[in-house]
Structure 1
Amino acid sequence: MRHRYSILLFPLHIFVDFLSLNIGFVGAYGIKFGTIDPVFETPYATLWWVFNLVWLAEIILFKPYIFPRQLFKADHLIKKMLLLMALHIAIIAVYWVAVKGYYYSREHLVIAYGLFAVLGIAFRVGGLIFLKEYRARGYNNRRYIVVGYGKLATTIRGFYDAHPEMGFHFYGYFDEPNDETSDLLRGSYSDLLEYVKVNHIDCVYCCMPYIDNNRLRHIVDGAENVDYQVKLLVDFRGFLAKGASVEYHDFLPVLNLSPQVLADFRVNTLKRGFDILFSFSVLSLGAPFFLLVALFTRLSSKGPILYAQERIGRDGKPFLIYKFRSMYINSEQSGPALSAGDRDSRITPWGRFMRQTRLDELPQFYNVLRGDMSVVGPRPERQFFIDQIVEVAPEYKNLLKVKPGITSIGQIKFGYASSIEEMVQRLRYDLMYPERRSFMFDMWIIAQTVRVMMQGRGK
């Protein structure tokens, strides 16, 4: 029987996690109280049972130990464990409040979860190191072939060659012979099933569009008799980077190549709801502070308190952005010009302080309420400068697919740009946002912005 030891990984994983959980619980009691005898008696024995039952329920519901080899990596395993542990902590906290178990030691629980995390992570890292060495010696490996020769076929082979720890061994290509086929061609489609049977092949990768549907169906039907996996390779790399998704029309899968990440309803709804709530809170609670900043702005130099300027928003739509005026009036009589930072004589002394602390951006919360902007998003620019940036970096157009924001990664990592070259440098940071945006990522950017404001490090 091939891979007879692989089946042991699942129960071993469960056993070690339960062992780690119980060692953590009992060991933490010993560390806290200097003895472990009372942990076997009420009320701690009850809590001990609840600890194990909650973990068992999580295993049954979420099946955390079932994943392909491609995801058998330290970061994935540890992340999954920590997520389950966080849920476990939340459920135990609810149980604690429900039974009014204030007699349980919080320090004991903290130590218990700490020990559990250390043991669980150590097992996962140690297990991966062992498997890597074990597979390097030729054990616990999978044999695979690729049907349909072309660039996609060489790509999947290159992937497994670069990751020997996954234990996939290449056994050749299958295709109809022609001038472009490789020396590693093991035969034509008619030879495939016999080759799979004789060489105990575990996985057959079929590359589209190099193989037609009739031959693919023949390979799939043969898997029932010879016992191998069939995996379909389709080259969607250029589309998936833009956020493709699969839709099902009855039984027919349809690939949606529109930028799904950018149009995702849940993300947009949650983001807009947060924008409204956060902006309304800032404008309401910060009204006295806003009036104070406005007073200083009015007294520091002649001119209006607020400054309005046309910027380009989502999908190229222009809007008026509002800021506390940080420059002397008529600073752009000769035409649009970027700020030269601390060396810019157009900036007032008070304006320089506002820029360092980002206070000049506060009126833009009104833009957020109007829907022109978001709290987090790439900074909007004027069309005059966008035209120049696009000539150097056409990828800037990707930023116009999302709503601009008051703060962004570029603002945190780079700050204000004083030239087109610096705008392009800042662009490298802002381009990360459309692909990675999420509620938690927005919270991280806001926290970093507050830190920059408090430290007065705005550039």
Structure 2
Amino acid sequence: MRHRYSILFFPLHIIVDFLSLNAAFLGGYWIKFQTTETVSAPPYASLWWLFNAVWLVEILILKPYIYPRQLFKANHLLMNLLVLTTIHVAVISICWVAIKGYYYSREHLLITYTLFVSMAAAVRIGGLIFLQEYRARGYNNRRYIIVGYGKLADSIRSFYEAHPEMGFRFCGYFDRPSPENEGLLQGDYASLEPYITRESIDCIYCCMPYIDNDQMKVITDRAESMDYQVKLLVDFRGFMARGASVEYHDFLPVLNLSSQMLADFRVNTLKRAFDIVFSLGVLILGFPIFLILGLITRLTSSGPVLYAQERVGRDGKIFSIYKFRSMYTDAEKSGPVLSGGLLDSRITPWGRFMRQTRLDELPQFVNVLKGDMSVVGPRPERQYFIDKIVEIAPEYQSLLKVKPGITSIGQIKFGYAATIEEMVQRLRYDLLYPDRRSFLFDMWIIAQTLRVMAQGRGK
């Protein structure tokens, strides 16, 4: 059985909110003054009228009660309520200051808004639960068909079957007959229009690229006269998994297939700001420690205090990384060699201590300020070793899309790698970072790094 009362939701929602607003105003007045007899007399009569007028203007301008079924959820309803209430509070406050209405009770206003938000939220949640259950039982449904059969068509049908509370009822697939869809179609293109009329179809999903373009144009052209919605379903999932994004050139949507996931503006902006502030703090406050570490390094073994080495950064950019020297000079005179761990004979006794406590990495905050590195990110490697790693684990290339860091998940969980195989093992940890990176996750990695340094467990 198919009932459609959606047209009543809009006026009902308005009426309920006005009743809640006025009940809250009266309730707040009674709680504050223990009477309601004087609420309709000056000066509160004007405030009461203003409360309703402001809410009415909000409704007329913002049209807040129009929700697609896919967005008819508790979080959207409550967020919308909070936005409307915040605007209402702001306008009332401005009017209060403008008319110098300091004789109005602040406590009454606070109680009024508390009561209103509570009642309006309760009505919304209660109505949502009722409506979802009502639709799940088959009432107030929207009948839809899918034109163009394929995997994408099955996906949208599965979605609505998993969410019966949305009230979408599947009425069949339509496409040109083929061996792939034999026995699955409700009809072909020729039977589409009579079926739409006979079954009162509300929505047609057109699946690209399965649907014929000419037929899609016919469906679109007749949508208004036959009173149904047309929704174009395009399978962007493969592109989005690789970080594609949608750009708008005026009204024209353009799919950008370049990887944007790892260059998210908000994440990178916050991350870069933190890198600069944190690095400056370490370099300024830790300057005396830097001098002491440099002096000990110089006195305990011959050679320069700092050690510079070429590493590969984001997008293959070569840069020089700085460290306090922890090895004897000419340790790699025969070519690139991985450290054999803390027992490596090329490491000085003082260098062994610095590696255990990660103090040898401190000069890299200069690299962070220069923009070559970040505080948190996969450790940068030399091209020689990258080539070796890629032969075993080609997925390492994905880490070159992220700015390298002083510390990483791999550094915490694994530490220094003595062989290519160990570098690949550490890689398994670092591969977790790009998809999980966030400001809070970075803070967790920094906290774990400080713990490793304090315990001297670096290896």
Bin the TM-score by the shorter chain. 0.7 to 0.9
Cα deviation 1:156-184 (Å, max 9, x = unaligned)? 21222222222111111112222221423
3-state SS of the aligned residue for 1:335? coil
- Does structure 1 retain, via aligned residues, the 8 Å contact 2:312–2:382? yes
Cα shift at 1:310: 3.2
Which segment drifts farther, 102-111 or 16-25? 102-111
Quote the RMSD (CA, aligned, Å).
4.8
2:285 aligned with 1:289, yes or no? Answer: yes
Q: Please point out which of 316, 330, 335 is paired with 2:337.
A: 335
Cα shift at 1:126: 3.3
Q: What is residue 193 of structure 1 aligned with on the other side?
A: 193
Q: So what's the TM-score if we normalise by structure 2?
A: 0.73
Cα deviation 1:125-156 (Å, max 9, x = unaligned)? 43332222111211011111111222222222
Q: What is residue 170 of structure 2 aligned with on the other side?
A: 170
Determine the C-alpha separation between the residues in 1 that align with 2:342 and 2:110: 52
Question: Structure 1 residues 76 and 293 mapped into 2: Cα distance closer, same or farther (>3 Å)?
Answer: farther
Cα deviation 1:101-142 (Å, max 9, x = unaligned)? 999998888777666665555444433322221112110111
Determine the C-alpha separation between the residues in 2 that align with 1:151 and 1:208: 11
Question: Structure 1 residues 77 and 332 mapped into 2: Cα distance closer, same or farther (>3 Å)?
Answer: farther
Cα shift at 1:206: 1.4
Which segment drifts farther, 237-246 or 188-197? 237-246
Question: Structure 1 residues 233 and 284 mapped into 2: Cα distance closer, same or farther (>3 Å)?
Answer: closer
Q: What is residue 244 of structure 1 aligned with on the other side?
A: 245
Q: Which amino acid aligns with 2:178?
A: N
Cα deviation 1:337-380 (Å, max 9, x = unaligned)? 48689xx9976446544x4xxx7665444323323234565554
Determine the C-alpha separation between the residues in 1 that align with 2:448 and 2:42: 51
Q: What is residue 430 of structure 1 aligned with on the other side?
A: 433
Q: What is residue 145 of structure 1 aligned with on the other side?
A: 145
Determine the C-alpha separation between the residues in 2 that align with 1:58 and 1:144: 34
Cα shift at 1:319: 1.4
- Does structure 1 retain, via aligned residues, the 8 Å contact 2:294–2:305? yes
Q: What is residue 274 of structure 1 aligned with on the other side?
A: 273
Q: Which amino acid aligns with 1:290?
A: G
Q: What is residue 158 of structure 1 aligned with on the other side?
A: 158
Q: What is residue 133 of structure 2 aligned with on the other side?
A: 133
Which segment drifts farther, 382-391 or 183-192? 382-391
Question: Structure 1 residues 337 and 331 mapped into 2: Cα distance closer, same or farther (>3 Å)?
Answer: farther
Report how many residues are paired: 438
Q: How does 1:409-448 map to 2 (within 5 A)?
A: 410=409, 416=415, 419-420=422-423, 422-433=425-436, 441-442=438-439, 444-445=440-441, 447-448=443-444
Q: What is residue 398 of structure 1 aligned with on the other side?
A: 398
Q: Which amino acid aligns with 2:273?
A: F
Question: Structure 1 residues 150 and 115 mapped into 2: Cα distance closer, same or farther (>3 Å)?
Answer: same
Cα shift at 1:295: 3.6
Cα deviation 1:61-103 (Å, max 9, x = unaligned)? 6554433222223344445555666777777888899899999
Determine the C-alpha separation between the residues in 2 that align with 1:406 and 1:101: 58
Which segment drifts farther, 201-210 or 99-108? 99-108
Determine the C-alpha separation between the residues in 2 that align with 1:345 and 1:291: 23
Q: What is residue 322 of structure 2 aligned with on the other side?
A: 322
What fraction of aligned residue pairs are identical, expressed as a percent? 53
Question: Structure 1 residues 125 and 393 mapped into 2: Cα distance closer, same or farther (>3 Å)?
Answer: farther
Question: Structure 1 residues 230 and 108 mapped into 2: Cα distance closer, same or farther (>3 Å)?
Answer: same
Cα shift at 1:335: 1.9
Which segment drifts farther, 34-43 or 118-127? 34-43
Runs of at least 5 residues in structure 1 that lack an aligned partner in the other structure: none
Runs of at least 5 residues in structure 2 that lack an aligned partner in the other structure: none
